[in-house]
Structure 1
Amino acid sequence: MMEELIVIKCGGSTVESLSDDFFKGIKALQQQGKKPVIVHGGGPRIKKMLTALHIQSEMVNGLRKTTPEVMTVVEMVLSGNVNKELVRKLQKHGVYAFGVTGCDGLLLQAKAKDLPALGLVGEIVKVNDTFLHNMIDLGAVPVISPIAAGMDGEDCYNINADTAASAIANALEAKQILFVTDVPGILKDNQLLSEVTPKELVNFIHDGTITGGMIPKVHAAMESLQGEAEEIMIVSGHANIVGDGHIIGTKIRNTVGVIQ
């Protein structure tokens, strides 16, 4: 029987404010027979720690230029503080969770995206899906910090969490991906849109319906549809993501093959 895998990407800005209802929703997904895999970010905490340690950093095209000094902080915050906090909260709500970095078991392997411009920002070239399936078969929910090992096994790379989630979903052939944000989904005239197409999303960006931080989220979601995923959803981390047996948020689906 095909596993009902669902990849859930928790944005860095939402990690600290994920509600108890959100974690109850993860438990509900398991009870429905789904097998969640969680990928998380941690940008705000990384920025706060860099400032506290007086380490200079800069953003280049939406990505944090990662020097070796910055990489040390990125790994410390993502793989230590944020990852283990999520594991604790999941287990508090009865979800057996296992926190790992992309370096563990060579789960994620990467090469430099643009070493001169971005430093140790990586581009994923390989996902160890066997390692992930082994964890899932044990009944665990993998909680993945987006740090990747270099192909030589020595270097360590900072990976954009949206990119990591998409790569992992493709490797697992997951049909569903959730992008967890600090809003209930995509809003138009203050009303939640239950379902949209990629074409509509492009129009919403052009007419100003979608602005700010939602734009890169939407682009990542549309890119995910080019892989194995059939359904992408943008949901809130402030509420139970499952209501009446269904996930609540904005669904982004290709129109091809959709049964009306």
Structure 2
Amino acid sequence: MKTIVIKCGGSVLDELSPAFFDALHSLKNDGYKPVIVHGGGPAINAMLDLYKIDSKFHNGLRVTCEKTMEVVEMVLSGKTNRQLVSLLAEGGLDAIGLNGSDGGCLVADFINKEELGFVGTVTMVNKELINKLIESELIPVITPIGASEDGNRLNINADYAAAAVAKALGAERCLFVTNVDGILVEGELIEETSSSEIQEYIASGHIYGGMIPKVESAISVLDKGINRVMIVSGKKAFYKNREWAGTAITSKERVK
């Protein structure tokens, strides 16, 4: 089974174009099985503001108290997941929303309850459940919420959740959907690079601003045992006629 795990950040959900959904059709037509993991940062921040709950981050992770966790789960499962499943349906794709804590889909454990609260790391993925949905010709759309062994709901970084799902399913690649074509250096799209080259691009100032956290997220996925990740655009067809569009990042050094 050729599985592709696609991570959609919450900030790009409103920018997904018809061409993005065409690319998903192309993937399916060529025998690929897409699985989507999504975030919802901007919508979570907006809801926390509404409830007058402070947003705090520690080492890039959202500090999650019980009240924050309630908002995170409400937004991810009740708003962004519904939104994405609906967009897929409008694009002619059969999808099913799945809370990561349902059916043991994502089993997780606390990272550091004292510092981070209800924030987790994935310890097990119920790949049998996900594969059953795939075999039913459905696209699973998974929230990055895990359940601990003792039943606590835990907030999981969506990049790390996507990496865990990709590794468990033996995915061919993991895609990060953004609002840009890929990594641009001096206006030119870099089609393939390595994690060490990316560090050089950052040090030289060729990669800067909002692209830095995007590429660092991609590299963190490579560190979790995925061989190839891609940064692609949600505004265009990232896959067409068996060709990929975007920037592929590998952990291995490239022969120049």
TM norm structure 1: 0.93
1:99 counterpart = 2:90: no
Query: Is the contact made by 2:26 and 2:241 (CA closer than 8 Å) also made in structure 1?
Result: no
User: Please, what is the CA RMSD of the aligned residues?
Assistant: 1.7
| Residue aligning to 2:35 | 37
Deviations along 1:49-69, whole A, 9 cap, x unmatched? Answer: 111121222111211111111
Q: In structure 2, the residue corresponding to 1:126 is in which secondary structure?
A: strand
| Residue aligning to 1:165 | 162
Structure 1 residue 89: Cα displacement? 1.0
Q: In structure 1, the residue corresponding to 2:15 is in which secondary structure?
A: coil
Q: Name the CA shift for 1:51/1:102 in 2 (closer, same or farther; >3 Å).
A: same
Q: Matched residues, percent identical? A: 44
Q: Name the CA shift for 1:171/1:114 in 2 (closer, same or farther; >3 Å).
A: same
How many aligned positions are there?
Answer: 256
Segment of structure 1 superposing worse, 212-221 or 36-45: 212-221
* In 1, Cα distance between equivalents of 2:208 and 2:126: 35
Letter in 2 for 1:253: T
Deviations along 1:70-111, whole A, 9 cap, x unmatched? Answer: 111100111111001111111122211010011111100111
* In 2, Cα distance between equivalents of 1:233 and 1:96: 24
1:203 counterpart = 2:213: no
| Residue aligning to 2:153 | 156
| Residue aligning to 1:118 | 116
* In 1, Cα distance between equivalents of 2:218 and 2:52: 34
* In 2, Cα distance between equivalents of 1:223 and 1:60: 17
1:9 counterpart = 2:4: no
| Residue aligning to 2:128 | 130
TM norm structure 2: 0.95
Q: In structure 2, the residue corresponding to 1:47 is in which secondary structure?
A: helix
Q: In structure 2, the residue corresponding to 1:16 is in which secondary structure?
A: helix
Task: Show structure 1 runs of 5+ residues with no match.
Answer: none
Letter in 1 for 2:249: I
Q: In structure 1, the residue corresponding to 2:16 is in which secondary structure?
A: coil
Task: Show structure 2 runs of 5+ residues with no match.
Answer: none
Q: In structure 2, the residue corresponding to 1:102 is in which secondary structure?
A: coil
